[in-house]
């Protein structure tokens, strides 16, 4: 596989795991406080990655002692991204939080052009436009609901938006850091820093009272964190930031489809959501736009080798 193909594959894996993340976060917060869920995600991801690196590459742990300055800023951004997104889901719903959080990848895509001097070919630019139109259709009903709501709902939207900005800051610094640092080493600090920072805000007593099902949910969220962000770091290393962005903003479609299935099943452990035909049409348009952005460069490469 070429580096570009590797980057696309890692971005797809990230999108897949993030597609289910919002749903499991909404489930977890029914029993565990939001800040505890965030802390547990970082702890599980850090312990698993540290154990693997201690066995495979012990020298990578040195980054915990003397991290690059940019890494500290990236860790601060990621720390608040998790909390802002978690509070957004807590006060709204998985699908609506997914609407707002997508401003993060959009900011990253723009940063790829403005800061990293990444060039967009005409077909790729058309792909961005098509994807934007698709999201306008896809989220039309949800956005209307957000505008009409008050109180805690709007608070949740603001928390999620702040998390999106924080994520974009993290990703911009991460894009620069992966050039000269291993992605695993960077993630060690990115997971370890917030795991320590959030300790004063955690009430550990409720964790002793939850049953094994909730422990499985929390463990899955930790594994999800490790896999998704490890793949994201590799995606940013191997391909363009704007290309990574257009792939990972597809992850809400996974959330919407899954929520639609759960709604049809009429499950009792999460509140159902309903999606109109306009949203389904938007999903198809988004996928078409993403295909234009991702496929163009590979097509040109094949033509040049003939």
| Residue 33: both structure tokens together | 């406080």
Buried b (16+ CB within 10 A) or exposed e, 277-296: eebeebbebbeebbebbbeb
From first to last of the 306 residues of the chain, give the pLDDT tens digit: 789 899 999 999 999 999 999 899 989 998 999 999 999 999 999 999 999 999 988 988 999 998 999 999 999 999 999 999 999 998 888 877 887 887 787 777 777 777 767 777 788 788 888 888 887 787 676 666 555 555 677 788 889 999 999 998 998 898 889 888 888 899 999 999 999 999 999 988 888 889 999 999 999 999 999 999 889 888 988 888 778 877 887 788 888 888 888 888 888 777 766 667 787 788 788 778 777 776 554 444 444 333
Instruction: Give the residue from 25, 22, 43, 44 showing the smallest Cα distance to 33.
Output: 25
The pLDDT of residue 297:
47
The pLDDT of residue 295:
59
The pLDDT of residue 151:
66
Does pTM surpass 0.85? no
Q: Where are the domains of the chain?
A: 3-304
Q: Label each residue of 25-93 as H, E or C.
A: HHHHCCCCCHHHHHHHHHHHHHHHHHHHHHHHCHHHHHHHCCCCHHHHHHHHHHHHHHHHHHHHHHHCC
Coil, strand, or helix at residue 210?
coil
The pLDDT of residue 84:
95
The pLDDT of residue 299:
44
| Residue 221: both structure tokens together | 């969220």
CB-CB contact of 13 with 230 (8 Å):
no
Helices (H), the chain: 3-28, 34-56, 69-91, 94-101, 103-114, 122-138, 140-148, 152-177, 183-197, 212-238, 241-248, 251-265, 277-304
CB-CB contact of 73 with 122 (8 Å):
no
Exposed/middle/buried for residue 45 (C-beta within 10 Å: 0-12, 13-18, 19+)? buried
CB-CB contact of 254 with 15 (8 Å):
yes
The pLDDT of residue 191:
94
Helix 34-56 and helix 69-91: axis angle, to 10°?
Answer: 140
């Amino acid at each position: 596989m070429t580096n570009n193909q590797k980057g696309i594959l890692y971005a797809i894996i990230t999108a897949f795991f993030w597609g289910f993340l919002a749903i499991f976060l909404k489930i977890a917060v029914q029993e565990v406080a939001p800040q505890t869920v965030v802390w547990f995600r970082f702890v599980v991801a850090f312990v698993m990655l540290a154990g693997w690196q201690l066995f495979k590459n012990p020298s990578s742990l040195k980054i915990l002692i003397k991290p690059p300055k940019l890494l500290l800023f990236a860790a601060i951004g990621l720390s608040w991204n998790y909390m802002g997104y978690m509070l957004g889901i807590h006060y709204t719903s998985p699908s609506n939080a997914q609407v707002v959080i997508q401003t993060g990848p959009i900011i990253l895509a723009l940063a790829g052009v403005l800061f990293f001097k990444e060039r967009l070919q005409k077909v790729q630019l058309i792909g961005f436009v098509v994807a934007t139109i698709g999201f306008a259709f896809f989220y039309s009903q949800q956005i209307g609901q957000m505008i009409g709501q008050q109180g805690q709902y709007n608070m949740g939207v603001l928390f999620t938006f702040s998390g999106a900005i924080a994520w974009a800051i993290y990703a911009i610094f991460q894009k620069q850091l992966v050039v000269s640092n291993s992605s695993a080493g960077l993630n060690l600090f990115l997971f370890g820093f917030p795991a320590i920072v959030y300790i004063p805000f955690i009430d550990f007593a409720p964790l002793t009272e939850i049953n094994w099902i909730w422990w499985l949910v929390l463990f899955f969220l930790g594994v999800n964190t490790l896999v998704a962000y490890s793949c994201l770091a590799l995606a940013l290393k191997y391909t363009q930031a704007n290309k990574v962005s257009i792939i990972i903003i597809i992850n809400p479609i996974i959330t919407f489809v899954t929520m639609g299935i759960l709604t049809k099943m009429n499950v009792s452990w999460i509140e159902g959501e309903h999606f109109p035909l306009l949203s389904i049409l938007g999903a198809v348009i988004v996928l078409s736009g993403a295909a234009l952005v991702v496929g163009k460069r590979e097509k040109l490469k094949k033509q040049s080798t003939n």
